[in-house]
Amino acid sequence: MPTPIKMPQLGETVVEGTVSRWLKQPGDRVERQEIVLEISTDKIDTEIPSPVAGTLLQITATEGQTVRVGTVIGYIGAPGEVVSGEQSPVSNHQSSAASAPIASSQSPLSTRQSPIAKPTGRAFVSPVVARVAAEYKLDLDQINGTGLNGRVTKKDVEGYLAEMGDKKVEIEEIAAPTRSPISDLQPLTAMRRAIAEHMERSVRTSPHVMSLYEADMTAVVRHREAHKAGYAAKGIDLTFTPYFVAAVAEALRANPQVNSSFSTEGLLLHQRIHIGVAVAVKDGLLVPVIQDADERNLAGLSRAVNDLAERARANKLSPDELQGGTFTVTNHGVSGSLLGTPIINQPQAGILGIGKISKRAVVRSGGHPLLPSADDAIVIRPLCYLSFSFDHRVLNGAEADGFVGRVVEVLESWK
């Protein structure tokens, strides 16, 4: 009897996954634990091994298709073995981001033809079909798909338009975006698409306001120089990021409203402090979360930051490690950026951007804090900008400034 390949539960909070790529095709021989496909969940691509040895008999979830956890996405069995009709259907819960905005009960063509029951696998829509459907305001639920597992193809759309009495169009002409001969259209990766959707939603959701502070990092730099060798002896690479995470955790304890989320019923104050740390990875960005960051010392935070960053770049994070953050920091200064205006990581109330630490000349007052004085001195100090983007529905300027001011205070008085 064929063995099903099911969409795995890749984390406690994960309820569905998207088939990114099949590494094997029907008829290919596979060994037990050999990687047969890649699944994308919340910007992470996870390799899925075969549960048994045999031949890949059938694929029931095509690339780009999103299905619920536990849904059968393929079958493995003996060469020539047949998958019965009772085994092959894919769950009706499957969906596709590409097709979601296209189907509409208000389509002008929807009243001309009675709805057709969705065949298996039709949730996948190619970019060409998606653009044509949007151009002609087509309801794809009304079109009988002849592609794999009922997928609606370009020819299906052409035939439907012809039946409706519309002039047949050359799909290639209306589907291809206008671009110069030297341009190259690069398809969006699952990670880039997820980032784009999340950032757009954040800007639409929260009224962003930014507060900018400058921190004197002299105390932190001295501490790091004095202790990084000792940390290295313990296998810890002591970077600056853990210092900022520790300062943010302390400031969140002192300003609990910053560690909250907005809802129409009120502010949801989070009792635990889970800080996400943005990590640049190939083709995108991931934000792994340090659970209970306020309960860890500098060494513990250093180990956590290094471990999460390394596994993020190696694509070895679990989906749960990207969930549950109550606040986010992004140290864009590691790449040389002096100042940034980060976008809030929903549904959090704020995000702190950390600029490059660099030596700058500053005036140290010897008398009046503002009036010129003979006792004033120009000194060189390692400084960095801290840019705090916050949700104005949750925080006012004074509350936001109180939070960032506490972060600066912790950094400048580090012991």
| Catalytically annotated residues | 392
The DSSP letter of residue 342 is P
CB-CB contact of 339 with 358 (8 Å): no
Distance, in Å, from the CA atom of 349 to the CA atom of 194, rounded to the nearest integer, reads 20
What the block records as the tokens of 375 is 């006792």
The DSSP letter of residue 346 is T
Distance, in Å, from the CA atom of 367 to the CA atom of 308, rounded to the nearest integer, reads 47
Amino acid letter, residue 8: P
Distance, in Å, from the CA atom of 57 to the CA atom of 75, rounded to the nearest integer, reads 5
Distance, in Å, from the CA atom of 370 to the CA atom of 367, rounded to the nearest integer, reads 8
Distance, in Å, from the CA atom of 353 to the CA atom of 343, rounded to the nearest integer, reads 9
CB-CB contact of 75 with 87 (8 Å): yes
What the block records as the tokens of 227 is 């202790």
Relative to beta strand 327-330, strand 350-354 is parallel
If you write DSSP's letter for every residue of 303-314 in order, what string do you get? HHHHHHHHHHHT
